[in-house]
Amino acid sequence: MKPLKPILLVLVSAIVFTLIFYKQALGLNVLIYELLVIAYLSITKQIKWRELNYFITASGVLLTVVFTVLHHSSLSFFVNFLLFILFVGVMIAPELRSPINSLKISIFNLFSSPINYRNEYIENNASKKRSRINLRRLGIFVVPLIIIFTFIFLYSLSSHNFSAFMNDIADFISEKTSFLLDYVDFWLIVTFAIGFVISAFIFIRKHIKSIILNEQRQSDELARERLKHTLDFKFFALKNEYKSAVFLFGALNALLLTLNILDIDTVWFNFEWEGQYLKYFVHFGTYVLIASIILSIALVLYFFRNNLNFYPNNKLLKVLCYVWLAQNIILAISVGIRNWHYIEHFALAYKRIGVLFFLLLAVFGLMTVVKKVRDRKSYFYVARINSVAWIVVFTLAAGVNWDKIIAKYNFRNADQSFVHLNFLATLSDSALPELDKSQNQLSNIQVVQEEKFSPFMKSGSSSINLYSRVYMTPEQYYNRIQVRKHAFKSKWESKGFLAWNWAEHQAYEELFGSD
């Protein structure tokens, strides 16, 4: 099939986008649009399915867009959007090896897409000088307005308060300009503008030579910089750097060994919970330890950035670095055990799950740095491999409805872990069946919770019980969930086919299927 001209294709795509997204919540419409895009690109042979980078990124887009329909979570939409940007980056420059560079070139195209469309139009109408001048003048205002409307749309999706605020502004404008707005639909224009930007981004793809040339100069293998005899002082500087690195990593290993021994004793084997709040133990301690792991990786990358990799008799430094990195893996395990103690006593939450994924990536990152030192790999190699790992982990994480898991786990372990009703009441609508508990169930949970946690939550001499003052009562939680159920029922029943998704459909059937 012969591709349509980009100018026409962008307009057709923007119209299709408007038809399926106008006044619709996100749901099947995202799946439909992305399937149409990938189908068109496949039919016109712009996607080379036999090439690995095309196959992986296009498959990733298809997989994660299915996740958006299955789970309807913010994470699934974010990962799908990320992979779609990466996919377009591969379409722009398939020769790029690093996902980071593919994202760079793609993001640049996203923000310059209206300009790219204008330039494409001018190139196709080069003989029409008047049109060129008018378009340039128009572009001064149109391009920024399109970008502004795009961000209004994104911010409205992320914040109900911002969405309400923008609706108030739209209502005010509508009231003051009703004689015009009888013929103009504000949100129709916004939807078309967003569709236009996205369509231009997909179908008018421009190479960024600086990014491509910069990567072409990069290699996975570290190249030795030969020192001239006239620059012997550089060798002595390298020797001093070697001595400094040996001293530094020797001292740091001793410090970290002390910390690891203490953690193995107090965190791994002899941890005892005495009712204390573990926020400092986990939150502050975890963040500091994570920062130290990142700094540890940065230190090794710094010292092994160039010729120290080729310095004669650098075996001692390499051994010290291997021990240092291995100790950081032990430190990461300690952080994971801290986090597990927190989950055991204070149940699941987003950050606690996030810490587990981050630690998995941190350990992988430490292992790639070991390979970098051993095999004399470049920083480009470390960044490339780790960026792939991050994308894989994000994709896997997007395949789970974490809200449902959190709700199920936290209530199932209410006799052992703290049940934070305030937090649970904020989980997504798809988790409402797990959040919907009877007043009797909530009262029984409250009795256990107060017995287990309340005695340790006094506010000093005043002896005011912080439990009842800070956290929701069963009655408050029950009422909040009932209000949310009613709102969810009304919202779901008003949704059209294009906004359908499995997660909320299943929740509706479980809550109201027999009505």
CA–CA distance, 338 with 358 (Å, rounded to integer): 14
pLDDT 10s digits, 56-114: 999 999 999 999 999 999 999 999 999 999 999 999 999 999 999 999 999 999 988 88
Same domain for 128 and 206, yes or no, is: yes
pTM assigned to the model: 0.84
Same domain for 88 and 189, yes or no, is: yes
Residue 224 included in any domain: no
Residue 44 included in any domain: yes
Same domain for 65 and 149, yes or no, is: yes
Please report the DSSP string for 176-190 in residue order. HTHHHHTT--HHHHH
Same domain for 288 and 254, yes or no, is: yes
CA–CA distance, 489 with 420 (Å, rounded to integer): 25
Handedness of CA 259, 260, 261, 264 (dihedral sign): positive
All residues at 6 or more sequence positions from 273 whose CB lies less than 8 Å from its CB, including other chains: 341, 345
Residue 227 included in any domain: no
Same domain for 202 and 347, yes or no, is: no
Residue 408 included in any domain: no
Note the residue count of the chain.
515
Reading phi first (left if > 0) and then psi (alpha if -120 to 50, else beta), residue 471 is in: beta
Same domain for 77 and 196, yes or no, is: yes
In single-letter form, the type of residue at position 194 comes to I
Same domain for 116 and 208, yes or no, is: yes
Same domain for 305 and 447, yes or no, is: no
Range of the domain at 266: 239-377
Same domain for 76 and 176, yes or no, is: yes
In single-letter form, the type of residue at position 323 comes to V
Q: What is the pLDDT of residue 449?
A: 85
In single-letter form, the type of residue at position 419 comes to V
Backbone angles phi, psi at 507, to 5 degrees: -60, -40
CA–CA distance, 181 with 113 (Å, rounded to integer): 28
CA–CA distance, 317 with 245 (Å, rounded to integer): 7
Q: What is the pLDDT of residue 185?
A: 78
pLDDT in tens, the chain (515 residues): 666 788 899 999 999 999 999 999 999 999 999 999 999 999 999 999 999 999 999 999 999 999 999 999 999 999 999 999 999 999 999 999 999 999 999 999 998 888 888 888 777 765 455 444 454 555 566 667 767 777 777 677 666 677 788 888 877 776 766 665 566 678 899 999 999 999 999 999 998 999 999 999 998 887 766 655 444 445 556 788 888 888 998 999 999 999 999 989 988 898 877 655 566 666 666 777 778 888 888 888 888 887 677 777 888 989 999 999 999 999 999 989 988 988 998 899 999 999 999 999 999 999 999 999 999 898 899 999 999 999 999 999 999 999 999 999 999 999 989 999 999 999 999 999 999 999 999 999 998 888 877 655 544 444 445 556 678 899 999 999 999 999 999 999 999 999 999 999 999 999 998 66
Same domain for 63 and 28, yes or no, is: yes
Residue 390 included in any domain: no
Domain final residue, candidates 216, 231, 255: 216
- Name the β-bridge partners of 465: 458
CA–CA distance, 314 with 246 (Å, rounded to integer): 9
Same domain for 422 and 371, yes or no, is: no
Structurally, the chain folds into a number of domains equal to 3
DSSP code for 458: B
CA–CA distance, 133 with 128 (Å, rounded to integer): 9
All residues at 6 or more sequence positions from 349 whose CB lies less than 8 Å from its CB, including other chains: 406, 420, 423
Q: What is the pLDDT of residue 383?
A: 93
Same domain for 285 and 371, yes or no, is: yes
Residue 190 included in any domain: yes
Asked if 389 and 361 count as a contact pair (C-beta separation under 8 A), the reply is yes
